[in-house]
Chains A and B, each alone.
Chain A
Amino acid sequence: MAEYEKPLPRQADPALTQPFWDAAKRHELILPRCFQCSRHFWYPRQACPHCLSPDWEWTKASGRGRLHTYTIVRQPQNPAFNDDVPYAYAMVQLNEGVRMISNLVDVEVPDGVRIDMELEVTFEDVTEEWTLPRFRPAS
């Protein structure tokens, strides 16, 4: 595998978020869900942002959602992405009610991109250690 020069996820609190990345490596999408109020939330944090309960668990997500919005990147913050432009930087509304930033794949950019299009998760093993969730048009 060629050396991967783009930024990999850098964790502020690995103990908190490592289960997500371990699951991604297994090509599974998991989300935090609160025991107290039963709602999912994203990003992972110590307490549920809806009710402040510290009691939550990782649950398997459907991996399906809609494109809430997007922007077509022409000037990435990190020059390691320069060869990829234009690409779609996407805000995905998951069926569990949370939103996540990712990229669109298997779609023509920009002409094939439509807000509210149905999406499903797919995983890219970018290095031996790291796998990133991306989204493609739902089958």
Chain B
Amino acid sequence: MSIRGKAAIVGFSELPTLRQYGERSTTGLLAEVARGAIRDAGMRKDDIDGVINREDVNSLELCEALGITPRYTSSMTVHGASGAASILTAAMAVASGVASNVLCMLGQSRPASATRLEAGAGARGGGGPANILTEWEAPFGTVVAANGGYGMIKARHMHEFGTTQEQFAKCAVDQRFNALKNENGLWKDPITIDDVLNSRFVNDPLHLLECVMPCSGANAVIVTSAERARALPNPPVYILGVGGPATSHSVVWQNESITTTPVVQSAPVALQMAEYSARDIEFAQFYDCYTILAMMCLEDAGICAKGEIGAFYESTDTTYAGEFPINTDGGQISAGQPGGGAGGFRHVVEATRQVMGRAGERQVKKGDLCLVNG
């Protein structure tokens, strides 16, 4: 059974991405975007009978805090991809009749003391419960955060395909251009390719301006059936195809090819269900903790041939005003990566905003068919 077009996103809400939200709690941020999304969808709280979040917060506790008694609830466990996975799960729940109106929400209020060093000081630094990281990585001086893995992946991509530093920088520059029109985004100043190339190596060959900044924020959407969607105030954003969540490995050296992402499996499934090909896609919102990841995933989705994403960026205006817009809100690299999976979910929210035609100054010219990768 295909779920093509059986469910639609009908409302959304997003809090501005900030470094910190002071004393506000994660549950408080989630309650605010839940209320905002329900109102935006033209619904009332009691219309919601499905709730999906990420495992950081137990979904039953969250439902209790919101005063929602769901027929269906689940917490996603696929890390940064949890937001996109929540859409897949909500669409299945709605298409099967298990739930009628599903609230998907992710977010985090980071404590003021949180730094990357502290936040990641667990296994990669050799601390916390013993696991494969404390035994097989930490003794060799693991890099802070996920920078090490993505630095190694980027080095290999440059080696295999000849991708240049300038081409990676173009990705960051285009996204920053987009972020300048995003009132909810973190970074407000334009950057040039030289700015990226002159930013310090967090670890070679990865520049600082190719990496996300961990932030605070939250976002939410409402998924309902196509039938109900047509009677609601917003233009429905139909979910035409879903694929994944293909899992990747917790340590990159386990991947058979470190320059190939799980998108080689998830994108064809989603496109086949949607009855479109990659060539039909008008714009894309792709998970971008680092330039290298968004770029490899775009290759693996078939937006260009494998290994040619560098040349693609060099020759393509990927800003909201360009011929193939990518990460039109600035993506996580330029709009910030709110924790709790809200960073990955921003790609879903921005796709929704664009397809509804509500992106304001950064509205894309052709905005009907978007491919989202969480």
Contact = CB atoms under 8 A, between A and B. Distances in A.
Contacts of B54: none
Given A10-B130, A72-B203, A91-B152, A132 B138 contact: no
Given A76-B144, A89-B148, A43 B132 contact: yes
Contacts of A79: 117
B295 to A, nearest CB: 16
Interface in B202-247: 202-206
A112 interface: no
Band of interface residues on B: 35 or more
Interface in B88-126: 117, 120-121, 124-126
Contact of A74 (B136, B140, B156, B201): B201
Contact of B144 (A9, A10, A75): A75
Interface in A36-92: 43, 68-79, 81, 84, 86-87, 89, 91
A100 to B, nearest CB: 7
Given A11-B130, A78-B141, A81-B141, A73 B152 contact: no
A89 B140 contact: yes
A132 B125 contact: no
A110 B201 CA distance: 12
Band of interface residues on A: 35 or more
Interface in B180-220: 200-206
Contact of B253 (A11, A84, A86, A91): A91
B124 to A, nearest CB: 4
B272 interface: no
Contacts of B131: 12
B330 interface: no
A11 to B, nearest CB: 5
A95 interface: no
B160 to A, nearest CB: 9
Interface in A1-41: 6-12, 17
B46 interface: no
B203 A74 contact: yes
A103 B140 contact: yes
B139 A6 contact: yes
B325 to A, nearest CB: 31
A10 B126 contact: yes
A73 B203 CA distance: 5
Nearest to A110: B204
Given A81-B141, A89-B148, A9 B155 contact: no
B159 interface: yes
A101 interface: yes
Given A71-B206, A115-B159, A8 B201 contact: no
B202 A75 contact: yes
A136 interface: no
A102 interface: yes
Contacts of B132: 12, 43
A78 B143 CA distance: 8
Contacts of A75: 143-144, 147, 202-203
Contacts of A72: 151, 201, 203-204
Interface string A108-139: 00100001100000000000000010000000
B135 A9 contact: yes
A124 B12 CA distance: 56
B114 to A, nearest CB: 15
B66 to A, nearest CB: 36
A10, A77, A86, A102: which has the most chain B beta carbons within 10 Å?
A: A77
Interface of A: 6-12, 17, 43, 68-79, 81, 84, 86-87, 89, 91, 99-103, 110, 115-116, 132
22 contacts: A7-B127, A7-B139, A8-B126, A11-B130, A17-B135, A43-B132, A68-B156, A69-B156, A72-B203, A74-B200, A75-B202, A76-B142, A77-B117, A77-B121, A77-B125, A78-B138, A89-B140, A91-B253, A101-B251, A101-B253, A102-B140, A132-B139
Given A9-B135, A101-B136, A115-B155, 13 more contacts: A7-B125, A9-B134, A43-B136, A69-B153, A70-B152, A71-B203, A75-B144, A76-B141, A77-B138, A77-B144, A79-B117, A89-B142, A91-B253
